[in-house]
Amino acid sequence: MTLHGAGQPAYQVVDPTTGEPVRSFPYATDTEVVEILDAAQSAYLDWRGRTVAARATLVRRAGAALLRRCRELAATMRLETGKPLSEGTDEIEYCASVFDPYADQGPALLADSARYFPAVLVDVTENMRAWHEELFGPVAVVHRVKDDQHAVDLANSTPYGLGAAVFSADPEQARRVAERLETGMANINTPSMDGPELPFGGVRRSDFGRELGPGVSEFMNKRLVCTAVRPHV
């Protein structure tokens, strides 16, 4: 949905390799915005009324649909952002692989009141899923390292690379470490920094291109390094 802007032309998707418009989309009218919001509310109420088993079936179907349209979607991503076809295909296949575990394990989790208490995981080894996967939730994986190089090697061993944070009483040492981390954003003595003028994005499986910041950053993997004036510790 694109809201109307006074005097603005229709929204366009532009091919980053040629600068030519791929497709134009008209701005939504006030009436269309109301209809869209009503449809979204109706869909939410319908979803809330479905059983867990019905939701699991739909989640599984969504993953299968991604796989069926994998090459088509990867070609669209390449046209819109310039992402190589092989990378787009790999990203879509990975996204599709996430659906089945939710469909398989979601019902059991919900039956157990769907609560996960904050946890710190230690002694995690490479044969454990927590070593390689992104954990979204109140969970922290803690590793012991020998020195800075060991910490950098461990941090860079993941297939992801969105953001990182380095905390140290020595800001110069923290910056040396941060510069060697293979991430789109690195923060020193603060968990994160954000703002409309700062490019947001990652590398590897975490992202391609940048949001916010200068418009040309959409098609670049510009790296952001921020240092807190007052350490957030």
Determine the pLDDT at residue 43.
94
Is 93 part of a structural domain of the chain? no
pLDDT tens for 129-170 read 888 877 777 888 999 999 999 999 999 988 888 889 999 999
Q: Say what the pLDDT of residue 26 is.
A: 84
Residue 60 resides in a domain: no
Per-residue model confidence (pLDDT) at position 167 = 93
Confidence at residue 59, expressed as pLDDT on a 0 to 100 scale: 92
Burial class (CB in 10 A: 0-12, 13-18, 19+), 34: exposed
Which residues have a Cβ under 8 Å from the Cβ of 70 and sit 6 or more positions away? Answer: 89, 92, 93, 96
Q: For residue 169, what are the domain limits?
A: 146-233
In a domain, 43, yes or no: no
Residues of the chain short of pLDDT 50, as ranges, are 1, 6
pLDDT at 45: 94
Would you say residue 2 lies in a domain? Answer: no
HSE, CB side, 13 Å, CA atoms: give it for residue 142.
Answer: 4
Q: What pLDDT was estimated at residue 221? A: 64
User: Residue 193: its pLDDT value, please?
Assistant: 79
Q: Look at residue 203 and tell me if it is in a domain.
A: yes
Total-model pTM: 0.56
Residue 33 forms part of a structural domain: no
DSSP 227: E
Nearest to 64 by CA among 91, 105, 89, 93: 93
Q: Phi and psi (nearest 5°) for 59?
A: -60, -45
Q: Residue 84 has what pLDDT?
A: 86
Residues in the chain: 233
On whether residue 151 sits in a domain, the answer given is: yes
Count of structural domains within the chain: 1
Residue 31 lies in a domain: no
* pLDDT at residue 196, rounded to an integer: 73
Q: What is the mean pLDDT of the chain?
A: 83
In sequence order, what are the beta bridge partners of 12? Answer: 24
